[in-house]
A and B are shown apart, each in its own frame.
Chain A
Amino acid sequence: MRTASPRPRYQDSRKPAQRGIVGARSRSRRPRSCTRGDAGADLGASPLPNHRQAGHLRPAPPPLAPNTRAAPPSTGGRARSREAGPCNQWAARAEWKGLSDPRDVTKLARGAVRFRPRPPLASSPPTRHCAANRKTGSAPARTFGRGRVAARRSRGAEWAGRGRGASLRGVVPACVEGAPGSAAAASSSRRSGFFPGVPGIPVRSSSLPLFSDAMPGPTQLFFPLIRNCELSRIYGTACYCHHKHLCCSSPYLPQSRLRYTSHPAYATFCRPKDNWWQYTQGRRYASTPQKFYLTPPQVNSILKANEYSFKVPEFDGKNVSSVLGFDSNQLPANAPIEDRRSAATCLQTRGMLLGVFDGHAGCACSQAVSERLFYYIAVSLLPHETLLEIENAVESGRALLPILQWHKHPNDYFSKEASKLYFNSLRTYWQELIDLNTGESTDIDVKEALINAFKRLDNDISLEAQVGDPNSFLNYLVLRVAFSGATACVAHVDGVDLHVANTGDSRAMLGVQEEDGSWSAVTLSNDHNAQNERELERLKLEHPKNEAKSVVKQDRLLGLLMPFRAFGDVKFKWSIDLQKRVIESGPDQLNDNEYTKFIPPNYYTPPYLTAEPEVTYHRLRPQDKFLVLATDGLWETMHRQDVVRIVGEYLTGMHHQQPIAVGGYKVTLGQMHGLLTERRAKMSSVFEDQNAATHLIRHAVGNNEFGAVDHERLSKMLSLPEELARMYRDDITIIVVQFNSHVVGAYQNQE
């Protein structure tokens, strides 16, 4: 699926398009060149036909919230969209706005009132896991099993009706059809005691400072189907989430907008973001179309919000580490972002650990892995004596040896609540390592240590969820972690020894500068997905022959999951019995959730999924200048060769890339001056970023056909409402590690 760039990104960069619609990608929906000057209009309006089509073809889910019931014929699509997730954000936000506004409280679900007293966090962007989700989500979850089948059945029809005209024709009937069913389901969902379950669940949202750090989105577990693309990721056949995103774009249809806006509830409903609001107004009073391009400083502030740089400190002008430092950055597409990143220096052994983690079905698992994995690795690397020393210190209450020096962006948080639990698991691990030690001190094999650490952590995640915790909050947390999933790509750099441990479809790419100054990419990890023949082979070998066809379907594990290896995701690991047992004994929220109860089809011989990493070893050479670790959000928008070239040119500055040499040519001062002035103009754009990862994101999001950053496009992409962002890109997380060629060269010379 990875294609070389440049390419029409609006089509290809869409994760849903790539992942969700296996083989059924919708027609290119590249926005018309934006002469109308309204990014929202272009980006939002163009995919519309599909939305309607989706509404038309998919089985009618129940309407969910009171306000949707108020306009039954037209809200069918919207209601369904909530089921799918992405579009309900507006509803969600509308309700959140209500939360912060006492006058609107009446409109809220009872459960939401609970959170009202907590002041909203002004600084963080509004998130969409909220009362609306809780209110509405359970119904679609319940109907899901049915819906999936229906959707699959209707797929052919959808292909046929992809065209704009077809969708237009389809829209109205769909809504009409959808209405009665929706209403019924909605009422049933309320009857089924949904609300009583809700208040106990803390919900992550920007309005909840208390939980905003600790509780990244229980809804992701609770109603994973609501989450925008997880649905498509897991149940590829079920629906097309980008369509559902667009359920919300119905306001752009003149007739529907009119209808909705006439309804007071809807007025709040479709005001998720100021610029949207502006837009709709602008369209309504067509005489004053308003532009909302982001200015370059605004673009920069968005791009730089999560950037982090670490420079290995110099001592007396010398940096003896083979790592000069690293730049990292994230650009969310999900809200909240499901990617995580970590970087730390091992204090008791040499070496530096860097990793990116791509979560799915919520960010609980990626969060937990990002906090815990490096400790497991560091402990696995520790010599026996150090382990003993640490254990003795714990035993006697002395101060512990620090193991890791973290290098964190302020937004990279650790959950304090689970810290004790995590520590105990870790301690059990090292105690076992101590017990297992045979006495003979052997050199620790990094590869083995990495594999052990990965497997052990996944095992612990699984065990913690099975055992549970007396603290109901923690109990719920460990379940969320276990039922969500995360891929991991971790690099361990120690001198010239570079190990990359990869589980899933993030990638590590080495930037190599050839002698002529050009850049080439060396892949240091293999993707664990359907594009990898060896993985397909492995899966087939691990399961009986009669499952050969069902184990990977539509390029997905059991037809559901794109990565073939991952942390968490116990739904693909536990036996059916175990799953049922845990869910039954689990908290009500879990028990009520159709998703968690849902057993993947053709689930005969678990486990189908493993967290065991594939470890690649590379001995650094002086020409190896940097390593890019990134989640698939980057790799699906940019070709690896371009990634390496852009970072390489950025790190060395343009001139090193293509140094001007007079050589034997006849060049006059005037010609040279003209050339240099031109180059400087180009370079000034390069140095806009102080962070290589930011620079890469700028290119990934804003590159035009010619591989140059197009501010207009960048501005449009970044001004997408977060609900739509997910259609055009996945979360992007990048770490660029720069190597110290002098030190690497010195290592080489020593031998």
Chain B
Amino acid sequence: MAEVVLSQKWLAAGSTRFCAGILSTARHLTIEQKMADYSNKLYHQLEQETGIQTGYVRTGSIFLAQTQDRLISLKRINSRLNVIGIPSEIISPKKVAELHPLLNVHDLVGAMHVPEDAMVSSADVALALATAASQNGVQIYDRTSVLHVIVKKGQVTGVETDKGQIQCQYFVNCAGQWAYELGLSNEEPVSIPLHACEHFYLLTRPLETPLQSNTPTIVDTDGRIYIRNWQGGILSGGFEKNPKPIFTEGKNQLEIQNLQEDWDHFEPLLSSLLRRMPQLETLEIMKLVNCPETFTPDMRCIMGESPSVQGYFVLAGMNSAGLSFGGGAGKYLAEWMMHGYPSENVWELDLKRFGALQSSRTFLRHRVMEVMPLLYDLKVPRWDFQTGRQLRTSPLYDRLDAQGARWMEKHGFERPKYFVPPDKDLLALEQSKTFYKPDWFDIVESEVKCCKEAVCVIDMSSFTKFEITSTGDQALEILQYLFSNDLDVPVGHIVHTGMLNEGGGYENDCSIARLSKRSFFMISPTDQQVHCWAWLKKHMPQDSNLLLEDVTWKYTALNLIGPRAVDVLSELSYAPMTPDHFPSLFCKEMSVGYANGIRVMSMTHTGEPGFMLYIPIEYALHVYNEVMSVGQKYGIRNAGYYALRSLRIEKFFAFWGQDLNTLTTPLECGRESWVKLEKGMDFIGRDALLQQKQNGVYKRFTMFILDDHDTDLDLWPWWGEPIYRNGQYVGKTTSSAYSYTLERHVCLGFVHNFSEDTGEEQVVTTDFINRGEYEIDIAGHRFQAKAKLYPVASLVTHKRRKDDVELSDLHGK
């Protein structure tokens, strides 16, 4: 099979040519750090391998912190870099001044030094890569533009170019800012949400005493600029607060013409540069370069296979870090194409995290205007995008909003975070921007308490809902093969199950209710809408009479959490709802209020008692009103996702996309009982699981309860904090929350067992977990933690002692 590279104009004629050439590994996501690290190593060898000068210089880079919050952010990155083997350290302003002669360090509180970061000439790297590729038999066609990709039966079969057709099995859309249009040019459009913004950087003539070639690159994120030396002078650009999106109307220009310089637009960045390096005042300007960069709706690049066309891969939207990610991204994509999956979890970058709903040009234009400045903004826990909101909402949106709901967005869907009580003042957005205890702490506490003691309603309509039906028994047959748990349960039962891949990893974690012999109702996380659909479509036989329907939009989901949910529902339905009549994990269609045909399920996604109501949307308002008015005497109140999150994490509930991913298996997170290994039925991933069962697992999902952590004064854990066992790095946390019941922070994460000598992964046993002293590293500070493999018993069998009851329990919540 021949590999062919097609380029519209010349190779690397896109924004690559104008790239500032900075290779930086200091990224917020671990997968991005790994990609950058791989690129660094690749480019380093490239010159030797190909003999082509790439201008690779290991200069190192320094990230400046003007504020304490920025320093915290850098410390967090620093501890993550260290554990994956990239050297870096937090240094004092004094040390910064030693490393770079021109810097004004008076306003700095600290900095992070990454000594192995490098600088290259991006065009030369592209040339070297192309040369190396040609040496290995890759054909490269210049000035050949792709008209469209030929697709037959949902599979790529060829490419139509302006110079003729090429047969192929795989097609990779790496068209950068043209990827969106190229994707749409297909008969079956592939939506690749990205949008270009103008990006400016400055080139100067050499300094009188030229900078040494190994002068480190400076990234002053508070000043929104980066500075590197360039031929003895300075190259400096940045990510301004008021970006200029371009090509919204989708001009299909053939190459990036040099766009107009805009000095007035560059003025804030220039001021920032001169503040950082006052001596540059006398330096002569050579040029202000304007080149378009593409940005994605969530600041992460886009890679992976199209959900609708097999063999159609995408790698685009690098958010102006194309050079840093290029090598690593190429590697993972190649693995993906060769093996069907990459060697690392790349869900955060997967094209399928987006759907067509993120492809509106207006949405993209507005969102990238927020994303571009965000690249250098301080990233604090739980920030939400402000633009492109209120796209998908539940029918109760206005009702909840009027009651003080504060919203977050997932996959375009608005979900309540928490409800600000009427007597409380509006919380300022700024206040929430903290690495410490957030201002909503008390609000969520009261919501959690209400869930524990009375009853709360959470609107969970965003969850992805599919219905799978067939005329015969085919539905069950196929689902049994696709899902790891036994679905041949009596009608009305609900099964928690994973949808595994060949390696036994979770492609999806869902709950499936058997509605009838031949139809199933499947509930998956919100952002599974595209991915799960694609997975099911891919694995369902083409010629079956199976009907798969996305009914997400048809139902409003209300989660009634709490011990009094039973009372509310039975009063509304005149049906006994006690565990005897309505056992846990049970689903029944019944009437609630005047509305009939409500799917009531005895589960809450939190481990608390309660019910999920799946309500046809036209009844949503009625049912909500009824529940609220009847619930009044049981102390009902609205709650949001932060309360839900606290509840589920303290109960050790893993969540797909956060804790679980395509590389984690049920055995690794203690869910063996949810897998039908013993039933002699085949399902995807069975072999891998059997093997794992025999050999033991190499990582284990563990719950940590922070011991010496002061909620009021210490930094809060978020996710991605390194876990240390007896002083040894063993893994990272995946999520965390404050448990109002335990009055402690709870972190969830995976514990590995790296061999002390070789660093190889070894089997993790229960014993290994239990016999360790653990610490969680939050921004460089280690906190002691207790490891648990099972939920805290007192939470499950929580019963109030009689003498604890007080008058205030009689108050409405």
CB proximity to B under 8 Å, residues A637-674? 653-655, 659-662, 666-670, 672-673
Establish whether residues A318 and B204, one from each chain, have CB atoms under 8 Å apart when the complex forms: no
Stretch at the interface among A211-219, A453-461, A677-685: A677-685
Establish whether residues B264 and A655, one from each chain, have CB atoms under 8 Å apart when the complex forms: yes
Establish whether residues A677 and B280, one from each chain, have CB atoms under 8 Å apart when the complex forms: no
CB distance from A502 to the nearest CB of B (A): 34
Asked, given contacts A317-B362, A318-B249, whether A669 binds B274 with beta carbons under 8 Å apart, the answer is yes
Establish whether residues B283 and A654, one from each chain, have CB atoms under 8 Å apart when the complex forms: no
- Bound CA–CA A672/B269 (angstroms): 12
Establish whether residues A316 and B362, one from each chain, have CB atoms under 8 Å apart when the complex forms: yes
- Bound CA–CA A316/B359 (angstroms): 9
CB proximity to B under 8 Å, residues A299-339? 314, 316-318
- Residues of B near A676 (CB, < 8 A) are 263-264, 266-267, 270
- Bound CA–CA A697/B619 (angstroms): 54
A350 within 8 A of B: no
B285 within 8 A of A: yes
CB distance from A318 to the nearest CB of B (A): 6
Measured CB to CB, the nearest residue on chain B to A742 is: B249
Contact of A683 among B261, B264, B270, B284 (CB under 8 A): B264
- Residues of B near A677 (CB, < 8 A) are 267, 271
- Residues of A near B271 (CB, < 8 A) are 673, 677
- Residues of B near A316 (CB, < 8 A) are 360-362
- Bound CA–CA A655/B262 (angstroms): 7
Measured CB to CB, the nearest residue on chain A to B362 is: A317
How many B residues have CB within 8 A of the partner chain? Answer: 30
CB distance from A592 to the nearest CB of B (A): 59
CB distance from A316 to the nearest CB of B (A): 6
Establish whether residues B362 and A669, one from each chain, have CB atoms under 8 Å apart when the complex forms: no
How many A residues have CB within 8 A of the partner chain? Answer: 25
Establish whether residues A670 and B264, one from each chain, have CB atoms under 8 Å apart when the complex forms: no
Establish whether residues A669 and B264, one from each chain, have CB atoms under 8 Å apart when the complex forms: no
- Bound CA–CA A318/B287 (angstroms): 33
Establish whether residues B285 and A669, one from each chain, have CB atoms under 8 Å apart when the complex forms: yes
Establish whether residues A669 and B267, one from each chain, have CB atoms under 8 Å apart when the complex forms: no
Measured CB to CB, the nearest residue on chain B to A662 is: B285
B260 within 8 A of A: yes
Contact of A672 among B249, B270, B362, B364 (CB under 8 A): B270
- Residues of B near A654 (CB, < 8 A) are 264
B804 within 8 A of A: no
Contact of B267 among A317, A659, A661, A680 (CB under 8 A): A680
B288 within 8 A of A: yes
B399 within 8 A of A: no
CB proximity to A under 8 Å, residues B527-543? none
Contact of A668 among B262, B266, B273, B281 (CB under 8 A): B281
- Bound CA–CA A676/B273 (angstroms): 14
Measured CB to CB, the nearest residue on chain A to B249 is: A318
- Residues of B near A666 (CB, < 8 A) are 284
- Residues of B near A670 (CB, < 8 A) are 274, 280-282
CB distance from A405 to the nearest CB of B (A): 21
CB distance from A658 to the nearest CB of B (A): 10
Measured CB to CB, the nearest residue on chain A to B365 is: A317
- Residues of A near B711 (CB, < 8 A) are none
Contact of A317 among B265, B286, B364 (CB under 8 A): B364
CB distance from A513 to the nearest CB of B (A): 14
- Bound CA–CA A667/B281 (angstroms): 10
For B451-489 the 0/1 string (1 means CB < 8 A from A) is 000000000000000000000000000000000000000
B139 within 8 A of A: no
CB distance from B262 to the nearest CB of A (A): 6
CB distance from A687 to the nearest CB of B (A): 12
- Residues of B near A662 (CB, < 8 A) are 261, 285-288
Measured CB to CB, the nearest residue on chain A to B234 is: A669
- Bound CA–CA A677/B268 (angstroms): 9
- Residues of A near B274 (CB, < 8 A) are 669-670, 673
CB distance from A750 to the nearest CB of B (A): 16
- Residues of A near B283 (CB, < 8 A) are 668-669
Asked, given contacts A673-B271, A742-B249, whether A668 binds B285 with beta carbons under 8 Å apart, the answer is yes
Best-surrounded residue of B265, B267, B361, B365 (most CB of chain A within 10 A) = B267
B248 within 8 A of A: yes
- Bound CA–CA A675/B266 (angstroms): 12
- Bound CA–CA A669/B202 (angstroms): 10
- Residues of A near B263 (CB, < 8 A) are 655, 659-660, 672, 675-676
- Residues of B near A680 (CB, < 8 A) are 264, 267
CB proximity to A under 8 Å, residues B609-665? none
Asked, given contacts A676-B264, A676-B267, whether A669 binds B273 with beta carbons under 8 Å apart, the answer is yes
- Residues of A near B260 (CB, < 8 A) are 659
- Bound CA–CA A662/B266 (angstroms): 13
- Bound CA–CA A742/B248 (angstroms): 12
- Residues of B near A661 (CB, < 8 A) are 261
Establish whether residues B249 and A669, one from each chain, have CB atoms under 8 Å apart when the complex forms: no
For B49-68 the 0/1 string (1 means CB < 8 A from A) is 00000000000000000000
CB distance from A314 to the nearest CB of B (A): 6
Contact of B249 among A317, A660, A673 (CB under 8 A): A317
- Bound CA–CA A743/B264 (angstroms): 27
- Bound CA–CA A676/B268 (angstroms): 9
- Bound CA–CA A316/B191 (angstroms): 14
- Bound CA–CA A63/B785 (angstroms): 98
Establish whether residues B281 and A669, one from each chain, have CB atoms under 8 Å apart when the complex forms: yes
Measured CB to CB, the nearest residue on chain A to B195 is: A317
- Bound CA–CA A676/B274 (angstroms): 13
CB distance from B201 to the nearest CB of A (A): 13
- Bound CA–CA A677/B270 (angstroms): 10
Establish whether residues B264 and A679, one from each chain, have CB atoms under 8 Å apart when the complex forms: yes
- Residues of B near A675 (CB, < 8 A) are 263
- Bound CA–CA A676/B248 (angstroms): 28
- Bound CA–CA A659/B266 (angstroms): 12
- Residues of B near A655 (CB, < 8 A) are 262-265
- Bound CA–CA A146/B180 (angstroms): 79
CB proximity to A under 8 Å, residues B232-269? 248-249, 260-267
CB proximity to A under 8 Å, residues B118-140? none
- Bound CA–CA A286/B248 (angstroms): 64
Establish whether residues A669 and B360, one from each chain, have CB atoms under 8 Å apart when the complex forms: no
Best-surrounded residue of A316, A677, A679 (most CB of chain B within 10 A) = A316
- Bound CA–CA A676/B284 (angstroms): 16
Measured CB to CB, the nearest residue on chain B to A318 is: B249
- Bound CA–CA A584/B360 (angstroms): 66
Measured CB to CB, the nearest residue on chain B to A315 is: B362
- Residues of A near B204 (CB, < 8 A) are 669
- Bound CA–CA A655/B260 (angstroms): 11
CB distance from B425 to the nearest CB of A (A): 26
Measured CB to CB, the nearest residue on chain A to B263 is: A660
Asked, given contacts A667-B285, A670-B282, whether A659 binds B262 with beta carbons under 8 Å apart, the answer is yes
CB distance from B285 to the nearest CB of A (A): 5
- Residues of A near B282 (CB, < 8 A) are 668-670
Measured CB to CB, the nearest residue on chain A to B361 is: A317
CB distance from A678 to the nearest CB of B (A): 10
For B347-371 the 0/1 string (1 means CB < 8 A from A) is 0000000000000111011000000
Residues of B whose CB lies within 8 Å of any CB of A are 202, 204, 248-249, 260-267, 270-271, 273-274, 280-288, 360-362, 364-365
A to B CB contacts below 8 Å, 21 in the list: A316-B362, A317-B249, A317-B364, A655-B265, A659-B260, A659-B262, A659-B263, A660-B263, A660-B264, A662-B261, A666-B284, A667-B284, A667-B285, A669-B274, A669-B282, A669-B285, A670-B274, A673-B267, A673-B281, A676-B263, A677-B267
Given A317-B248, A680-B264, 6 other A-B contacts at CB below 8 A?
A317-B362, A654-B264, A655-B264, A668-B284, A675-B263, A683-B264
Closest 5 pairs between A and B when the two form their complex, measured CB to CB: A317-B361, A670-B281, A676-B267, A655-B264, A660-B263
